[in-house]
Structure 1
């Protein structure tokens, strides 16, 4: 992946999807439910943190969701970079997409109940929500105002920011950062526990990124 010089991209933002959770392992729709990390998820977070430490990354502030799988990932990774006591702000605006009636259901069982095509539409369309839940478009509408009002000002001050969140709240941020369409962002796959380092210009605009997957 490409990198940039400090002069070209003075601002740094690192995004990480939480490590594997108990419900990821069980193939359940999780959403705003609150399962813990698996042993493998803990290991993923440790490895992700070690990769950040190897590159000398340090942060001025961290943000995470109100859910324990993201909070645990955040704590583990910050410990690995030698910042276990870094100021960390948790807010439900960074929560995973709310899956409504699907939450807690096995994905295979949901396919049997509603049909595989309908479930796929709910999972991978941009603006079609599951019953009583959020579409990705709804998630973007929740996440972006919080990012612009609360997180971006820290970046624009030159602070290095770390965010540990979820697949769809990260997609909301990535859509904004990379200027992607709804169709493009729903296709973006995000691995658990893998940091994505964004280099941003003085106005907080995307310059380049590096995925720390090795």
Structure 2
């Protein structure tokens, strides 16, 4: 049996302000850092050994992972950063306050198939202006959760799954919609209304075929 730890980042300033965050890059709040360190303490107390970490390119996930690994005295393990673990890009909704968005646009929040209106190519929020994504030929400017799942599964197939099968302890520190996409892929659960707690390690026990045996929160 194999284990995989999924972790949503701690509270960011945009979370606190109830904004659509997406590929925007706000920092953790003080509460978010507390949540990150508590996740590390939970994993340490539960006896988890981690050998490699995967994380998005966004600071709220990176700082959460650093807090976890510091609490576990594991800052030395290898960390692989990938844009494929970035939150869903919310297009024109990026940075907007959720409660101020018209009801007809809120359907984009957890919908699996529907993309929000895309950012224009000249919008300063477009990822093509961010040096982190300079190697991407066509960085996304508005994604559905299905789009997130498609990019996630590339990383899963070629990098994450092989590390799990090699017997290494793996943690993936990422974002709510990425974890929803993961859970939909592994279990077939619908993404609509699926709540993902911040800073709470989600553990999957996986069989030899990497199909889930059970899932639980620590």
SS of aligned partner of 1:128: coil
1:105 aligns with 2:96: yes
- 1:131 pairs, out of 104, 114, 117, with 117
TM-score in terms of structure 1 length: 0.88
Q: Find the counterpart in structure 2 of residue 85 from structure 1.
A: 76
Q: In 2, distance between residues paired with 1:25 and 1:42?
A: 13
- 1:121 pairs, out of 96, 104, 107, with 107
Deviation string 1:139-161 (CA, Å, 9 cap, x unpaired) is 11111111111110111111110
- How far apart are residue 124 of structure 1 and its match? 2.5
SS of aligned partner of 2:180: helix
Structure 2: stretches of 5+ with no match in the other structure = 119-141
- 1:208 pairs, out of 209, 214, 218, with 214
Q: Find the counterpart in structure 2 of residue 167 from structure 1.
A: 176
Deviation string 1:156-197 (CA, Å, 9 cap, x unpaired) is 1111100100001111111122233xxx12221001111001
Q: Find the counterpart in structure 1 of residue 198 from structure 2.
A: 192
- How far apart are residue 108 of structure 1 and its match? 2.0
SS of aligned partner of 2:117: coil
Deviation string 1:43-81 (CA, Å, 9 cap, x unpaired) is 011111111111111111000000000000111111112
SS of aligned partner of 1:185: coil
Superposed structure 1 runs of 4+ greater than 3 Å apart: none
Contact map agreement 1:57 1:81 (CA 8 A) in 2: no
Structure 1: stretches of 5+ with no match in the other structure = 1-8
Q: In 2, distance between residues paired with 1:37 and 1:88?
A: 19
Q: In 2, distance between residues paired with 1:12 and 1:108?
A: 38
TM-score in terms of structure 2 length: 0.86
